[in-house]
Structure 1
Amino acid sequence: MSRLSTRALISHTLVAVTGAVTAYLVSRELTPRFYDSRMAGMMGQMLGPGGMSRDLAVGAANRGLAIGVLVALAVAIIAGAWSSWRLLRPLDDLSAAAHRIAAGRYDEPVPLPREAELARVANDVNALAARLAETEARRMRLLGEVAHEMRTPLTVLDGYVEGLQDGVFTPEPELYAELSGELRRLRRLSEDLGALSRAEEGRLGLHVARVDVAAVAIAAAERLRPQLHDAGLDLKTEWPRWALLVDGDADRIAQVVTNLVGNALAATPPGGHVRVVASPDGADALIEVSDTGIGLAEGDAERVFERFYRVPRTGTGPNASGSGIGLTIARGIAQAHGGSLFATSPGLDRGSTFTLRLPMARA
């Protein structure tokens, strides 16, 4: 009784038996009455309602009905078995597909059955397989990218340590500064990877409160003004005429703006400027960070948000040799707030603009 095919067959059989028994009992009860009523209305009947002709007619009708019921049951059972097989064949395909997915084989889609309900389930299974295949590909790519990113600082550290052991290098403050710099790079990569993982899994842990996103963004940009000044860049900020209130995490929003301004610092040669503008746009608040730097080539406006993708840098800011996942994390933060982050550029050497769009709070 645990198999669906057996249960479906028994269900069909019970329905058929119930219908047949009901038909037989109703016919057995009503046939004599119909016979008597019919005969009473006929002229020239040979025997009374209780005569032999009545018994013969009723008996023949009941025997014929019993045979018909048995034949109907046999046909119903055969039809039920065929219907169960038709129903379970797509389910067997779905079961086989689930086993293939569990084994890591995502490239064999489930054929779509003709039944609309089962076709929807098959579509869902195929979509699940495609999503898992994409996730697995991203995981493998991420492992390769992380290994590549860690290889450089580890190689440098290994070289310095071997040099110290062999006496090639002398223990001097400058050497320790180099070692410390590579260690900080590894630590920053580790922290960025943790933030990236939380962003992509939706586990950023936002501390949501009603904040003025314009004030948060301008304050974050102002904190980098000394670094911009040292690099020969001018910072320009523009405030809106009223507060841009959003329900969000002020620290995370500041993290996004800091990343964008830091990228502008790294991409802009001396003599340029970085501009941070906060403005309303319908029901959204916009934070635009634009620069006069190297710009973006066609197709790079979206690729810069990919993990570990870097465009050539000409600046000397702190992000000039970053981990390459800051923008990925920044977009994850924007999406966690129900907003978006995108980039535009008129072309190489013509600067670029990164726009953070967040929904404003409702009164």
Structure 2
Amino acid sequence: MKVRMRLPLRLFVSHAAVAVVGAVVAFLTVRLLAPSLFDQRMGMLDEDHGMGMAATMTRVHAAFLTSLDTALLVGVGASVAAAGIVAAAVTRRLLRPLDAVRSATRRIAAGNYQSHVALPSEPELAALATDVNTLARALADTETRRSRLLGEAAHEMRTPLTALDGYVEGLIDGVFTASPDTLASLSEELRRLHRLADDLSSVSRAEEQRLDLHLVDADLADIARRAAVRLSSQFEDAHVALVTDTDRVVPVHADPDRITQVLTNLLGNALLATPAGGTVTITAHDVGGRGEVVVTDTGAGLAEQDIERVFERFYRVPGRPRRSAGSGVGLTIARGIARGHGGDVTASSPGRGKGACFALVLPPRPSGPPRA
């Protein structure tokens, strides 16, 4: 197995190697140039004073080289020692924020998502610390949403379970008889639990981008038109007008069944929010190459703080009566399906009592031959 040096030692060795290379280069440069320059200078003096100085110059030359070598060795040793001290200090300074990041990651791995790393002065290390802090915040948000989901799921399950418990105790005590009506009520509560389990599974797959999408080239306007026709009888029974504007062709590459699920949810929510005598309009068109279906109603509307929150799991708009047996995750699933296609579902409203508008946007169909 290949053994690697630890990062502190590697940093120290790298700094020391630079210092040693610089010292060796300085030593060789001075050692090679100084004698020739000295000889050249002494030769000029020898010409001026005659041949009698030759022996003296030889001794001076030898003494000079000895002194030069000694001075160079001392200088190189001092420079390497100084470089080692500086390298150790720099290495320690660089490793301090890395040690802080390592400590923070260990705390995050242990579940302490509130850990925070102070930003060092070095830009690169500051970027690393920022990423770790961002990761901690994201994990904290995920943990908060997970805890909230468990609480909300438990709350949603409590009502049908309480009803089932009451019916069963009533049957045991003889308060209820096993009549078709009683059994039908039990069956309805069981179906509600089953529907909640299916919705929770769909929410999980949608948020984790694990939806099974069967993408084909399709006409978004035709999908919207079919969804409106399927729900038209419900609108008639509620005395709410359903207006469709889906005559143009809007080519997209999508899963028709999943998109129908999204539009059915948007139309169903619009119907529930709109009183008798109101109007729901569904429009399909092409916007900058992207397919868009807009569902607009004249119903209860949304306050500004509720526009994004309606996409949260189990969120109920305050003050609005519950008119549906749904689990409250339909819009969460709808947005997950849209984002799984590379699009989105957005909401807007001028205010409570002024209606709302939900838009499904899908990316354009890729160029090339039709695909299935």
Say if 2:338 is the partner of 1:334. yes
How many angstroms apart in 2 are the aligned matches of 1:120 and 1:144?
A: 36
How many angstroms apart in 2 are the aligned matches of 1:24 and 1:292?
A: 88
Say if 2:170 is the partner of 1:171. no
Read off the aligned partner of 2:133 and give its amino acid letter. Answer: N
Q: Structure 2 residue aligned with 1:20, among 1, 19, 23?
A: 23
Equivalent in the alignment of 2:40: 37
Q: Quickly say closer, same or farther: Cα 1:31–1:250, change in 2 above 3 A.
A: same
Q: How many residues align?
A: 359
What is the SS of the residue equivalent to 2:353?
coil
Q: Structure 2 residue aligned with 1:122, among 120, 129, 132?
A: 129
Equivalent in the alignment of 2:243: 236
Q: Which moved more, 1:302-311 or 1:254-263?
A: 302-311
Say if 2:59 is the partner of 1:56. no
Q: Over residues 101-131 of structure 1, what are the superposed CA-to-partner deviations in whole Å (9 max), with x where a residue is unaligned?
A: 1122222311111111111111111111111
How many angstroms apart in 2 are the aligned matches of 1:253 and 1:48?
A: 104
Q: Over residues 30-75 of structure 1, what are the superposed CA-to-partner deviations in whole Å (9 max), with x where a residue is unaligned?
A: 3322221221223327326971011011111111111111111111
Q: Structure 2 residue aligned with 1:211, among 218, 230, 239?
A: 218
Q: Over residues 249-300 of structure 1, what are the superposed CA-to-partner deviations in whole Å (9 max), with x where a residue is unaligned?
A: 1111111100011112222233333221112223222211122322223422
What is the SS of the residue equivalent to 1:279?
strand
Equivalent in the alignment of 1:355: 359
How many angstroms apart in 1 are the aligned matches of 2:232 and 2:217?
A: 26
Q: Over residues 198-245 of structure 1, what are the superposed CA-to-partner deviations in whole Å (9 max), with x where a residue is unaligned?
A: 1111111322221100101110121111222223333221123x3100
Q: Which moved more, 1:11-20 or 1:89-98?
A: 11-20
Identical counterparts, % of pairs: 52
Say if 2:311 is the partner of 1:308. no
Q: Which moved more, 1:145-154 or 1:105-114?
A: 105-114
Is the Cα–Cα contact under 8 Å of residues 211 and 246 in structure 1 kept in the other structure? yes
Read off the aligned partner of 2:7 and give its amino acid letter. Answer: L
How many angstroms apart in 2 are the aligned matches of 1:341 and 1:228?
A: 23
Mapping of 1:154-193 within 5 angstroms?
Answer: 154-193=161-200
Q: Quickly say closer, same or farther: Cα 1:147–1:314, change in 2 above 3 A.
A: closer
Say if 2:284 is the partner of 1:278. yes
| Structure 2 spans left out of the alignment, 5+ residues | 368-372
Q: Quickly say closer, same or farther: Cα 1:278–1:173, change in 2 above 3 A.
A: same
Say if 2:265 is the partner of 1:265. no
TM-score normalised to the size of structure 1? 0.93
Read off the aligned partner of 1:141 and give its amino acid letter. Answer: R
| Structure 1 spans left out of the alignment, 5+ residues | none
Is the Cα–Cα contact under 8 Å of residues 224 and 246 in structure 2 kept in the other structure? no
What is the SS of the residue equivalent to 2:312?
coil
TM-score normalised to the size of structure 2? 0.90
Q: Quickly say closer, same or farther: Cα 1:14–1:297, change in 2 above 3 A.
A: closer
Q: Which moved more, 1:13-22 or 1:192-201?
A: 13-22
Read off the aligned partner of 1:116 and give its amino acid letter. Answer: P
How many angstroms apart in 1 are the aligned matches of 2:140 and 2:55?
A: 83
Q: Over residues 66-112 of structure 1, what are the superposed CA-to-partner deviations in whole Å (9 max), with x where a residue is unaligned?
A: 11111111111111111111111111111111111112222231111
State the Cα distance separating 1:2 from its structure 2 match: 3.1
How many angstroms apart in 2 are the aligned matches of 1:178 and 1:55?
A: 115
How many angstroms apart in 1 are the aligned matches of 2:285 and 2:226?
A: 15
How many angstroms apart in 2 are the aligned matches of 1:184 and 1:159?
A: 16
What is the SS of the residue equivalent to 1:304?
helix
Read off the aligned partner of 1:6 and give its amino acid letter. Answer: L
Q: Over residues 174-199 of structure 1, what are the superposed CA-to-partner deviations in whole Å (9 max), with x where a residue is unaligned?
A: 11111111111111111111111111
Read off the aligned partner of 1:255 and give its amino acid letter. Answer: Q
